[in-house]
Amino acid sequence: MTIEWDRATGALDIATLKTLFDEGSLTPEDMIDIVYDRIEARGDDHVWIHLIDRETSRARARALMADPAAKALPLYGIPFGIKDNVDLAGVPSTSAVRAWARMPETTSHLVQTLLDAGAIPIGKQNQDQLGMGVVGVRSDFGIPQCVFNERYISGGSSSGGGVSVGAGLVSFAVANDAAGSGRVPAALNNIVGYKPTPGLVPRSAKSQAGMVGTENFLTLTMADSVLLTNLGFRHDPSDPFSKPEAQGFRVSAAPAPATFRFAIPDAATLDTDGDAESARLFRESVARLETLGGTAVEIDMTPYLTAAKMLYDGPFIAQRYANFGDRFDEDESALCPPTREILSWGRKYTARDVFRAQYIIAGYKQQVRQLFQTVDLIVTPTTPSTYTIEALLADNIRLNAKMGTYTNFVNLLDLPSASIPAGFRHDGIPMGTMLTGPSLGDDLVCRVGAALHDALGIASGLTGKPELAVAS
């Protein structure tokens, strides 16, 4: 069956492209030209730190087309972007710090897995420096903007990835998520960001191997996230945080259970920062979950909100300093002011402080384990609200912390989570709803997330409401 698809605006989800390739409507080489034409049409949107040239990408596509066995590969001809702290051999990596640019000789295992599966890399993408931030304004390479309104932030730290998928430039983007970097840009660009339980996907950014967090993908559908993440699950003994359970671990987008229970913030701990539209969209997501068979249970989120603040506003920032401190101490001026200030906080904490913080987090892990004895999921807004770029530049650190209200605690407590589109505010800005499950409870997060997205009934990215993609 032939599907209708527009070269300028058609969705790039993996299932659609596979259908187009199978029916012969497009070839991978055609798709490369479409992708680069779309990138050129957007102009300088600050998405790309290093864009691979068109002819190199076309040559990759032709090589796939010349291999009779390649068409059976799960990602045959699928275009993707890579966050700039994940390595692709022969392409510079900067982590958005111009002075720290380096040329990797090897490709990260996750990216190599994607290449072996037939995917075609388009380039390295912008981010908040060193992955420190969830707003997308802390970079030496410009500020990517929300695809629906250029006055608003894109979210970060995987800012370029969120914009590229939301704008229909690539099918998916390789990201990583410690504080919300793969969920916040998903929420603000009307796409999906599923973050596995830490330790199920080996860390590709070896310079950050000691951080809480995990590699993940920004996608148009939960089905795409499931396909991609299943390729990435692997136990890697060389990664000290890799979980043995990762070997053979799988998730699905199968139908959600007929009944399930989910916790939501009570009135005192539901934070939408005065944004009535964000509150409305969250209520609507809760109602959709109830229609799907869920039962909402209000809880006091205070312990988890307290844990969230500890990721940056406490001794855990010393972990960032442990990773980057040597380079930072050589030349602090290489970093933009907010990144520089936050990283400097890591100098002031002692081992005693860190151990005390670990004891507190261990207590919160016990609390959340008890909570998951009575509910299946925690459901919150992905972010309380969103802000203009102008507002972020004027009040960077405080508003960045506000954006991480519900995302920051998740990795600290060893949990999986997914941001699912929640619809649009009346001004046309999208928001997200976040589903968080127990450690290793990824399959339920994905299944309920897929059902929630389907129930929304709005396409992802710009294809959801293209008339809302305005300049101001």
Q: What are the residue numbers of the active site? A: 83, 157, 181
Task: Give the separation between CA 62 and CA 24, rounded to whole angstroms.
Answer: 15
Task: Give the separation between CA 221 and CA 228, rounded to whole angstroms.
Answer: 11
Reading the block at residue 374, the tokens are 């009575």
Neighbours of 5 (CB within 10 A): 16
Are 47 and 84 in contact by the 8 Å Cβ rule? The answer is no
Task: Give the separation between CA 189 and CA 105, rounded to whole angstroms.
Answer: 33
Residue 91 carries which DSSP code? B
Range 101-106, long-range pairs (CB < 8 A, 24+ positions): none
Are 96 and 336 in contact by the 8 Å Cβ rule? The answer is no
Element (H, E) at 124: strand 120-125
Closest CA to 207 of 332, 345, 87: 87
Q: Is the peptide bond before 242 cis (omega within 30 degrees of 0)?
A: no
Handedness of CA 151, 152, 157, 162 (dihedral sign): negative
Are 29 and 65 in contact by the 8 Å Cβ rule? The answer is yes
For 342-357, the DSSP string reads HHHGGGG--HHHHHHH
Residue 149 carries which DSSP code? B
DSSP H helices, 140-192, are: 159-166, 184-188
